[in-house]
Amino acid sequence: MEQWGGGQPDTFAVWIVFSAAFLLVLLVFITLLVRAIFKRIVQERLKESKAKMIHQQKLLDTTIQTQEVERKRIAEDLHDELIGKLMVIKLRHEAECNQQSELISLVNESIETARRISHDLSPPLLEFTSLADLLFEMIDNWKVRFEITTNFDVRKNDLVSDDFKIQFLRITQETITNIDKHAKASKIDFHFRQSRSSVALKIVDNGVGFDKNAIKMGLGLKSIETRVQFLKGSYHLDSKKDIGTSVLYFFNKF
């Protein structure tokens, strides 16, 4: 009895150690299991999020590419159909009247307007013209409305893709149009820089400015943001009331 009684505490201690070890192993197992489940859930959600982003990017790409195809078709129709018919009207009227008339003047104005719209929709010789030259030509057309200064720093005039050129020009055109509609500006400064790996454009106006926190994003800003996303670029907008607005566009993949 003394031996049994003397051994009982040792047995009890063994059971305590065994139980503690079992609980520790069980706790570690549960912890690892929970971590594995949590990690799997996070990975699945990241995978879903990535798939969703890829799907949205494809939709964005398809939408913009479809728009450009339609713009090109309309530009070709304007150039080939409308301008062609206006030229026929002009030639026939000149042949019949053999003199300059008010109708001829109106036809000439209509031809120039149609050419300008066609050019804006789809710039000619896009493939063979550098981005800097295309941009300068676009800016030059606005000199009748604004005092314009330009600072072009072209360190590497590599050929960028036609898609990049057209979307970059759309972004610039939309920005100038917004200034024309809302800024009440008299002067615009353009700072353009192109290197081997990046393109940057800063546009500064001396307009009335606005409160960035109070302004609602209209169709113009949404269009700009969509095209910047399409080109995988970024932009920063800064505006001060009664001082003006500046916007910087930056692209390092083209």
Per residue in 3-41, pLDDT tens? 444 556 678 777 888 888 888 888 988 988 899 888 888
Residue 228: per-residue pLDDT? 94
Of 87, 104, 122, which residue sits at a domain end? 122
Q: Domain check: are 118 and 139 in the same one? A: no
Boundaries of domain holding 191:
125-254
Q: Domain check: are 223 and 136 in the same one? A: yes
Query: Strands 234-240, 199-205: parallel, antiparallel or unpaired by DSSP?
Result: unpaired
Residue 211: per-residue pLDDT? 77
Q: Domain check: are 24 and 69 in the same one? A: yes
What Å distances lie between residue 170 and 54, 99, 167, 202, 225, CA to CA? 24, 41, 5, 15, 11
Q: Domain check: are 180 and 253 in the same one? A: yes
Tokens of 141: 């057309």
Instruction: Give the model confidence (pLDDT) of 69-128 as tens digits.
Output: 777 778 777 777 787 888 888 787 777 776 667 788 888 888 888 777 777 777 777 888
Give the phi and the psi of residue 235 in degrees, each rounded to 5: -150, 155
Separation of alpha carbons 95 and 89, rounded Å: 10
| CATH number of the domain bearing residue 131 | 3.30.565.10
Residue 99: per-residue pLDDT? 64
Checking if the pLDDT of 43 tops 90, the result is no
Q: Domain check: are 87 and 174 in the same one? A: no
Q: Domain check: are 107 and 165 in the same one? A: no
CA-nearest of 218, 217, 208 to 239 is 208
CA-nearest of 137, 226, 240, 107 to 174 is 226
Q: Domain check: are 55 and 100 in the same one? A: yes
Separation of alpha carbons 186 and 179, rounded Å: 10
Q: Domain check: are 108 and 145 in the same one? A: no
Between these two residues, 53 and 209, which has the higher pLDDT value?
Answer: 209
Instruction: Name the pTM for this structure.
Output: 0.68
Q: Looking at the 3D structure of the chain, how many domains does it have?
A: 2
Indicate the DSSP class of residue 216. Answer: -
Q: Domain check: are 240 and 223 in the same one? A: yes
